[in-house]
């Protein structure tokens, strides 16, 4: 409806401003992690016996990298612009851009001031160096702080921007009469709001039979939900068989009785020959006379699973799509599938032959790994797939929530 195009344009503008800011913070975080030694891969974390370290920075206690990045900009061979000042300017500019958009809105003075007050972004505004021993905002905020302490700071800046956008979005949507916003458009904005709140990997439990019975108009979506579940179950069963095969070939697992006889109750449920490296090498890398390398089969199945997830979502736009949902908006298909591809994070995504001496994925993942370490890796693969399934389910369900 032409009447509401200005508001819809503002919604897109706000979303773009926020995404740009979020990306800047993501880049800062990545730079800080890289300059402090990088993050633990699942391979490294499981080798250490702590798979929970996956994705966490190795140099979490490092104070030099944050000091260099945010305050001094001093590098051995050159000087770079300190990002603390840049960050403060970006926060200030984002607030200015938000404020300019508020000035263009219609509404009571009270409502507009309430909206303006809801923008919680804070940088160096109001900061007084003289109250902090003459330190700049950057030095006061980031000085002598380890990487681990700066992580939550950066996350707070992102959360504040996201919360501000959500408040904006609610205000603007309330100015659009529901009768003038199509069901398809409401579905699209419901999905975008879900993406903004970054909860796409939160569990989604759904009884498809009950869902289809109560929502016959969404039968096609119920069908795709079942297909997503089916491809996930098939992959999960394959990995479970691999884990079982590897453990059986290494002598099985300790029963409670065997662990007690070994005078170590903690052994219960663990592989008897957990330190064996020959078995994973044969199963996943070389294969044998009767069986091909399962490592190559595994990575092929992981890649295909991501393709299948995206294909199953994409099929909902076929034959005119699903009326009353974003799946009927053909011009949104490419955008949403691109977002989905980014959100699906499977374990092979961290692999780059150029960074791993030209090794194949199976060599990168399983070479010189014990049965115990390989079992952790397989468990990590199952976990990443289950999280990806949750993401896909959210893409199927959240567009059905009426934003208003």
Q: What is the DSSP string of 40-72?
A: --HHHHHHTT-GGGTTSBTTTT--HHHIIIIII
237's tokens: 């069963």
User: In the chain, pLDDT over 90 holds for what percent of residues?
Assistant: 25
Q: What is residue 199's predicted lDDT score, i.e. its pLDDT?
A: 47
**Residue whose token pair is 């109250």:** 131
Q: How confident is the model at residue 228 (pLDDT cuts 50, 70, 90)?
A: very high
Mean pLDDT (whole number) for 36-65 = 84
Q: What is residue 244's predicted lDDT score, i.e. its pLDDT?
A: 92
Task: With a cut of 50, say whether residue 376 has pLDDT above it.
Answer: yes
CB atoms within 10 A of CB 203: 11
Which is higher by pLDDT, 74 or 83?
Answer: 83
232's tokens: 């996930």
d(CA 126, CA 129): 10
d(CA 340, CA 327): 14
DSSP tag of 265: G
Which is higher by pLDDT, 5 or 193?
Answer: 5
Q: What is residue 237's predicted lDDT score, i.e. its pLDDT?
A: 95
pLDDT digits (tens, 9 = 90+) for 99-154: 888 888 777 788 888 888 878 788 887 888 888 888 999 999 999 899 989 988 99
Q: What is residue 298's predicted lDDT score, i.e. its pLDDT?
A: 94
Task: With a cut of 60, say whether residue 402 has pLDDT above it.
Answer: no
Contact yes or no for 3/180 (Cβ under 8 A): yes
pLDDT digits (tens, 9 = 90+) for 58-78: 988 999 999 999 998 887 667
Predicted model pTM: 0.59
Q: How confident is the model at residue 347 (pLDDT cuts 50, 70, 90)?
A: low
Q: Point out the least confidently predicted range of 24-33, 64-73, 286-295, 309-318.
A: 286-295
d(CA 70, CA 180): 47
What percent helix, strand, coil does the chain show, rounded to 5?
A: 70, 0, 30
Q: What is residue 318's predicted lDDT score, i.e. its pLDDT?
A: 94
């Amino acid at each position: 409806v032409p009447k509401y195009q200005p508001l819809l344009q503002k919604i897109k503008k706000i979303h773009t401003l926020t995404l740009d800011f979020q990306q800047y913070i993501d880049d800062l975080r990545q730079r800080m992690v890289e300059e402090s030694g990088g993050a633990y891969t699942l391979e490294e974390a499981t080798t250490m016996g702590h798979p929970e370290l996956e994705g966490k920075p190795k140099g979490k206690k490092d104070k030099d990298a944050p000091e260099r990045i945010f305050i001094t900009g001093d590098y051995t061979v050159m000087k770079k612009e300190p990002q603390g000042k840049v960050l403060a300017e970006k926060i200030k500019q984002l607030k200015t851009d938000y404020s300019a958009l508020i000035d263009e809105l219609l509404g009571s003075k009270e409502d507009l001031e309430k909206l303006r007050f809801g923008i919680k972004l804070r940088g160096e505004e109001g900061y007084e160096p003289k109250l902090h021993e003459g330190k700049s905002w950057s030095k006061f905020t980031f000085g002598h702080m380890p990487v681990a302490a700066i992580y939550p700071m950066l996350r707070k800046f992102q959360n504040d921007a996201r919360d501000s956008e959500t408040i904006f979005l609610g205000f603007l949507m309330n100015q659009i009469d529901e009768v003038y916003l199509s069901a398809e458009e409401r579905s699209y904005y419901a999905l975008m709001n879900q993406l903004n709140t970054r909860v796409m990997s939160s569990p989604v439990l759904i009884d498809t039979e009950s869902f289809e019975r109560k929502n016959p108009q969404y039968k096609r979506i119920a069908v795709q939900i079942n297909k997503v579940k089916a491809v996930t179950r098939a992959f999960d069963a394959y990995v479970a068989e691999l884990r079982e095969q590897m453990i059986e070939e290494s002598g099985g697992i300790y029963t409670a009785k065997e662990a007690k006889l070994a005078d170590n109750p903690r052994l219960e449920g663990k592989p008897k020959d957990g330190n064996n490296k020959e078995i994973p090498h044969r199963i996943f890398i070389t294969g044998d006379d009767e069986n091909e390398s399962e490592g190559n089969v595994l990575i092929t199945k992981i890649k295909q699973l991501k393709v299948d997830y995206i294909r199953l979502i994409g099929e909902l736009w076929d034959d005119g799509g699903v009326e009353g949902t974003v799946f009927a908006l053909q011009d949104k298909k490419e955008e949403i599938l691109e977002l989905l591809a980014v959100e699906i994070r499977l374990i092979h995504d961290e692999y780059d032959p150029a960074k791993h001496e030209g090794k194949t994925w199976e060599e990168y993942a399983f070479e010189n790994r014990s049965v115990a370490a390989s079992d952790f890796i397989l468990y990590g693969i199952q976990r990443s797939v289950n999280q990806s399934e949750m993401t896909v389910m959210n893409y199927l369900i959240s567009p059905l929530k009426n934003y208003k």
